[in-house]
Chain A
Amino acid sequence: EVQLVQSGAEVKKPGRSLRISCKGSGYTFTNYWINWVRQMPGKGLEWMGTIDPSDSYTNYNPSFQGHITISADQSISTAYLQFSSLKASDSALYYCARQKVPSAKWFDPWGQGTLVTVSS
């Protein structure tokens, strides 16, 4: 069974750094890109960026560029979303989602989500 399993909920203070993870299983990790999607409380989905785990090529939504870093470690089939300096507005649910490129322009499946709370 293809699965993306994300790391657990986090509570952090503003200004701190954070890295959340997304581990793929049931498929060849390097054959699919991993995307990150934000869902703020009670709001819709926002595409943040993507990574090709085979060569670490990344592409970011301009709205998030400079604030986040997406990386991957193919040896452990895991992708990461990193924040260098958290803000209260980063409080949200973050999903990872798989994508087979270049042919596929859709996301399936999705991880279960990681809730991030930033509060002093």
Chain B
Amino acid sequence: QSALTQPRSVSGSPGQSVTISCTGTSSDVGDYDYVSWYRQHPGKAPKLIIYDVTERPSGVPDRFSGSKSGNTASLTISGLQAEDEADYYCCSYAANYVYVFGPGTKVTVL
């Protein structure tokens, strides 16, 4: 199973919006509405911020939103804040209880 594709980095000023893409194949992202996103601050464990493409866990601000079109899922962070500077990983279910992650995207708040 090949890893998903994400941009290495994105950046934005406070208050702006940034979008991170996550491209897979018709065997993972394109075949299932089971894309999740995780935020990882340096030296910390990943934290779930989006599941099932668009759903936000309790406690995650509505500044975070997810979407999907075909084989590409996206995470949008609106109203960028300093605390959003972190690495973001997408993950997709790929059948038979197998999962694949993207390589991660570093978000920089300018």
Using CB atoms and an 8 Å cutoff, list the residues of chain A in contact with chain B. Answer: 35, 37, 43-47, 50, 59, 61-63, 95, 97, 101, 104-113
- A47-B99, A95-B46 known; A105+B89 contact, CB < 8 A: no
B residues near A50, Cβ cutoff 8 Å: 97
What 1/0 flags go to B66-94 for Cβ under 8 Å of A? 00000000000000000000000101010
Is A44 in contact with B101, judged by CB distance below 8 angstroms? yes
Using CB atoms and an 8 Å cutoff, list the residues of chain B in contact with chain A. Answer: 1, 3, 32, 34, 36, 38, 45-48, 51-52, 57, 89, 91, 93, 96-104
A residues near B91, Cβ cutoff 8 Å: 45, 47, 106-107
State the main secondary structure of chain A at its contact with B.
loop
State how many angstroms separate the Cβ of A114 from the closest Cβ of chain B: 11
| Bound-state Cα–Cα, A97 to B99, Å | 13
Which listed residue (A44, A46, A63, A112) contacts B45, Cβ 8 A? Answer: A112
Is B89 in contact with A47, judged by CB distance below 8 angstroms? no
| Bound-state Cα–Cα, A62 to B45, Å | 24
| Bound-state Cα–Cα, A104 to B93, Å | 10
- A45-B89, A105-B36 known; A59+B48 contact, CB < 8 A: no
- A47-B98, A61-B98 known; A110+B46 contact, CB < 8 A: yes
Is B45 in contact with A113, judged by CB distance below 8 angstroms? yes
| Bound-state Cα–Cα, A105 to B52, Å | 7
Is A110 in contact with B34, judged by CB distance below 8 angstroms? no
Closest residue of B by beta carbon distance from A59: B97
Which listed residue (A62, A63, A106) contacts B48, Cβ 8 A? Answer: A106
| Bound-state Cα–Cα, A46 to B1, Å | 11
